[in-house]
Each structure stands twice: as C-alpha cells, then as structure tokens.
C-alpha cells in the first residue's frame, strides 16, 4: 500500500489536500499555517444530529477563535447542499454558520483521512482531527452517526494540547477539573538518576509537588 493511500496517524503531518468549501477553495493545512484547526466530518446535511452539532460549533466559535483555532466541517454533500443547509439553520435556529464546510462529493478527502467506515455505511462518520500550527495531527476521534459530539470536550482538548505544547507538561484526567490535582499540570517523569535528584530538590524548595519522584505536578504559574 502506498504511503499516500494510508490514513494519517497521530503525531504525523496532516496530508496536503486542496478542497472546495462554502468559502471557496482552500489548501490544507497550508492555509492554516500558524493556527490550530479542528476538522470534523458529519454524515450528511439536513440531518438532525449534524444540525445540532453545527449550531453548537457556531455558538462556541468565539471560544475557538480565542484559542487561535479555526473550524472546518466536511461531508460528502456538494457545496450547494451545504449552502442551502446553512440557510435552513439560519432561518430555523437564528444561527449563521461562518466557518467553511468542505464539499467532498466523490469522497476522496474523506477516504484519505479515514472518515468513512464501510461497516457503518457509505457516509462519513463523525471524525475529529485537531491540527497544530505546524500541520501536525495532535488528536483524532471517531464518533458513530448516532452519537453527537461534545463540543465542550473538543474545546477542553484544544486547551489541554496548547498548554502541553507551551509548557512541556501533561494534563491529568478531566483537566482542568481533576478530582485530585484540580487545574494543576503533570511534569514529565525524569529520565535519569541525576534528574531524579534535581526533581526531589525542586520539591523540597516548594517549586513543585510530588507524590513520588515519577509523579510530580505544579500550577501553571510556577
């Protein structure tokens, strides 16, 4: 199998694709260089679950913008169906979709990105890609057609990925509302004996907190 025929992998580069959208032609990921973007596929226009997702993505769009993150939708419908659906959402929900929606009638982009599961039909499933400003795939999620996505979780993951990238840390389960650590972040474990000694000294000085030398955490302010 050729490399270009394989679905991209987490931590790899997002493949270069030219797409037609409701806002004109775009080149991914090049047109979003320097920004994060969330690319999400949906099974089809004029379907109830997808409609609720698009309304909520748009309603929370300013929060994504504040995180230097753009939104891009995709389905196998053509651009005219997308535009008509946008009108329908505007007229019935009083919400105007302002982010681009990719028209992928032949399914070439969806197939390249692993967004179609033959076991679930010929439409795109609810795939989510989160891409960083360097065009690297930082997250991949797949939901079945019958379950709508949690937009708050997608926002949470974008925030967590950005914090991890900026501060070279990891985030615990349910961050920033972890039951034990709250909004504190986890420091990567030391890789050698000398680093262990330094880590324990930092803990003595109160710069960080440790349960053990391999389990240390801190507030982002420190």
Query: Which residue of the set 6, 50, 210, 216 is catalytic?
Result: 50
Helix axes 151-167, 48-59, angle to 10 degrees: 50
| Distance in angstroms (rounded) separating the CA atoms of residues 138 and 107 | 23
Higher pLDDT, 169 or 207: 169
* Residue 116 β-bridge partners: 124
Beta strands in 168-213 (DSSP E): 185-187, 209-212
pLDDT digits (tens, 9 = 90+) for 88-142: 999 999 999 999 999 999 999 999 999 988 888 878 889 999 999 999 999 999 9
SS3 of residue 24 by DSSP: strand
Length of the chain: 222
Residues above pLDDT 70, as percent of the chain: 97
- The pLDDT mean for the chain works out to 94
Closest residue by Cα to residue 88 from 45, 125, 57, 123? 45
The runs of H, that is alpha helices, within 21-173 are 48-59, 61-66, 79-93, 108-112, 151-167
Q: What is the pTM of this model?
A: 0.92
Instruction: Confirm whether 216 is a catalytic residue.
Output: no
How far is C-alpha 171 from the geometric centre of its chain's CA atoms?
Answer: 16
Q: What per-residue string of b and e applies to 130-162 under the rule 16 or more CB within 10 Å gives b?
A: bbbbebbbbbbeebebeebbebeebbbbbbbbb
Written as six digits, the tokens of 27 are 């080149």
The strand order across the sheet containing 209-212 reads 185-187, 215-218, 209-212
Beta-carbon contacts of 212 under 8 Å, excluding residues fewer than 6 positions away, are: none
Contact 127, 104 (CB under 8 A): no
Q: Which residue has the tokens 């994504």?
A: 64
Residues above pLDDT 90, as percent of the chain: 87
pLDDT digits (tens, 9 = 90+) for 143-190: 999 999 999 999 999 999 999 999 999 999 999 999 999 999 999 999
Closest residue by Cα to residue 59 from 131, 151, 130? 151
Q: Is the pLDDT of residue 1 over 50?
A: no
| Distance in angstroms (rounded) separating the CA atoms of residues 84 and 59 | 19
């Amino acid at each position: 199998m050729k490399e270009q025929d394989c679905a991209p992998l987490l931590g790899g580069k997002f493949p270069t694709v030219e797409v037609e959208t409701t806002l004109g032609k775009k080149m991914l990921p090049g047109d979003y260089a320097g920004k994060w973007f969330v690319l999400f596929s949906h099974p089809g226009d004029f379907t109830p679950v997808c409609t609720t997702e698009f309304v909520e993505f748009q309603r929370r769009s300013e929060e994504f913008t504040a995180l230097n993150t753009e939104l891009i939708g995709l389905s196998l419908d053509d651009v005219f169906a997308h535009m008509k659906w946008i009108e329908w959402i505007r007229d019935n929900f009083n919400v105007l979709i302002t982010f681009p929606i990719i028209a992928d009638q032949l399914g070439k982009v969806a197939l390249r990105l692993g967004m179609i599961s033959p076991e679930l039909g010929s439409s795109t499933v609810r795939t989510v890609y989160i891409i960083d400003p360097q065009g690297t795939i930082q997250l991949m999620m797949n939901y079945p057609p019958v379950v709508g996505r949690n937009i708050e979780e997608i926002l949470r993951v974008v925030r967590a990925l950005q914090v991890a990238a900026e501060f070279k840390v990891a985030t615990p389960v349910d961050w920033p509302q972890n039951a034990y650590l709250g909004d504190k972040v986890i420091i990567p474990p030391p890789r050698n004996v000398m680093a262990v000694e330094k880590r324990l000294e930092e803990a003595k000085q109160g710069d960080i907190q440790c349960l053990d030398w391999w389990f240390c955490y801190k507030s982002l302010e420190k």
